[in-house]
């Protein structure tokens, strides 16, 4: 896939877990039936692409055995109907290679790939890593997981300029903020698609209308319709509807402001927040949170549940036919 091939909504999903997955000695933790059901539902409800095994997918805490069973189930369920990007981030390059090879062999179209996570990388290290991945997997499109806080790397413009020249399989980046967006697009000659979340897609469009053709959304795990409606409005050039949907999505996320506005707090509670609001919304059953992140203060639990309730209300406003019974992720 090239930069021009990214269009529409890319849904990000949890890795559904079975009862007891929060125990340190748990094995076989993936709820494969729920995984299959969720993937089918998202495709039926309008997701244009799928991203798995990022932070929300608990890539850092899932075992290698569970990684393989989950990826195989997802790939088989997708069946090449929509683009599939499989996370392969690991502590070091060797483990990332193993995960990439398995994802490729299962039929993934690409990978969501962060930098190895033990030592912070220099620009030289980071560029070399993505270049070597491209040499090893020339047919696997790479989406850079551009999370500066998680990987302790700022992803500066000179990194993107070098990536465009030295790592040709990198054709997209999962982005969270429009910082230096215009400069990064110019530095890469438009060869890399910088994909925003649904929460900042309107900001990306204001800076670069021509390249804002897709967005990612962890909120799709609560039902994809609002995020899909937003990117559809952006693609249609409907400024009024874009502004309306941007405002309503911001309203749905407002209870999360104490976490979203504090990078250190968000880093500690990202997975918990996502799985709790998804459980409340009821579109999927994300199951318990894998250790050691299954700790979440009560006030943040309630804020996340309120965000889930608001997303359900937004889905009601847009479709009028949503009804789901909430599950619990964190007690």
Which residue in the list 4, 98, 174, 275 is annotated as catalytic? 174
Per the CB < 8 A criterion, the answer to whether 217 and 190 are in contact is: no
Tokens of 45: 């409800």
- Write down the pLDDT at residue 319: 82
Q: State the Cα–Cα distance between residues 229 and 235, nearest whole angstrom.
A: 10
Least confident of 46-50, 106-110, 232-236, 320-324: 320-324
User: Closest by alpha carbon to 205, among 173, 238, 174?
Assistant: 238
User: Closest by alpha carbon to 153, among 124, 189, 115?
Assistant: 115
Element (H, E) at 271: helix 263-281
Q: State the Cα–Cα distance between residues 51 and 186, nearest whole angstrom.
A: 26
- Write down the pLDDT at residue 327: 44
Per the CB < 8 A criterion, the answer to whether 217 and 50 are in contact is: no
User: Closest by alpha carbon to 305, among 330, 262, 276, 274?
Assistant: 276
Each residue of 237-280: pLDDT tens digit?
999 999 999 999 999 999 999 999 999 999 999 999 999 999 99
Known active-site residue 174:
yes
Whether the pLDDT of residue 108 is over 60: the answer is yes
Tokens of 243: 């502004």
Burial 6-41 (b: 16+ CB within 10 A, else e): bebbbbbbbbbbbeebbeeebeebbbbebbeebbee
Whether the pLDDT of residue 328 is over 60: the answer is no
Least confident of 46-60, 81-95, 196-210, 307-321: 307-321
Secondary structure letter of residue 198 according to DSSP? T
DSSP code per residue over 199-259: TTHHHHHHH-TTT--EEEEGGGGG-SHHHHHHHHHHHHT-HHHHHHHHHHHHHHHGGGHHH
Q: Is the peptide bond before 192 cis (omega within 30 degrees of 0)?
A: no
Whether the pLDDT of residue 323 is over 50: the answer is no
Q: State the Cα–Cα distance between residues 29 and 15, nearest whole angstrom.
A: 9
Q: What are phi and psi of 28, to 5 degrees?
A: 50, 55
Tokens of 328: 């619990």
Provide, rounded to the nearest whole percent, the portion of the chain with pLDDT above 70.
Answer: 96
Whether the pLDDT of residue 184 is over 70: the answer is yes
Q: What structural domains and CATH numbers belong to the chain?
A: 3-236 (3.20.20.70)
């Amino acid at each position: 896939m090239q930069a021009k091939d990214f269009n529409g909504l890319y849904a990000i999903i949890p890795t559904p877990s079975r009862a007891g997955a929060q125990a340190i000695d748990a094995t076989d933790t993936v709820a494969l039936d729920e995984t299959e059901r969720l993937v089918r539902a998202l495709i039926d409800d309008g997701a244009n692409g799928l991203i798995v095994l990022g932070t929300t997918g608990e890539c850092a805490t899932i075992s290698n055995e569970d990684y393989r069973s989950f990826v195989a189930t997802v790939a088989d369920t997708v069946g090449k109907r929509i683009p599939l990007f499989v996370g392969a981030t690991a502590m070091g390059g060797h483990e990332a290679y193993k995960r990439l090879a398995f994802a490729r062999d299962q039929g993934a179209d690409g990978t969501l790939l962060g930098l190895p996570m033990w030592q912070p990388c220099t620009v030289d290290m980071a560029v070399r890593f993505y270049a070597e991945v491209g040499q090893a997997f020339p047919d696997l499109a790479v989406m850079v997981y551009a999370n500066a806080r998680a990987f302790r790397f700022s992803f500066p413009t000179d990194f993107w300029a070098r990536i465009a020249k030295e790592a040709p399989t990198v054709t997209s980046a999962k982005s969270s903020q429009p910082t230096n967006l215009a400069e990064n697009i110019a530095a890469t000659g438009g060869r890399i698609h910088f994909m925003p979340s649904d929460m900042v897609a309107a900001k990306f469009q204001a800076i670069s209308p021509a390249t804002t053709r897709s967005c990612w959304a962890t909120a799709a795990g609560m039902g994809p319709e609002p995020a899909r409606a937003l990117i559809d409005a952006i693609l249609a050039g409907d400024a009024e509807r874009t502004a309306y949907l941007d405002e309503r999505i911001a309203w749905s996320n407002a209870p999360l402001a104490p976490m979203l506005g504090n990078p250190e707090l968000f880093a500690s509670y990202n997975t918990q927040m996502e799985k709790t609001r998804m459980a409340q919304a009821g579109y999927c059953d994300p199951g318990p949170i894998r250790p050691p992140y299954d700790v979440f203060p009560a006030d943040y639990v309630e804020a996340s549940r309120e965000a889930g309730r608001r997303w359900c209300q937004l889905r009601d406003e847009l479709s009028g036919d949503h009804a789901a019974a909430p599950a619990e992720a964190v007690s």
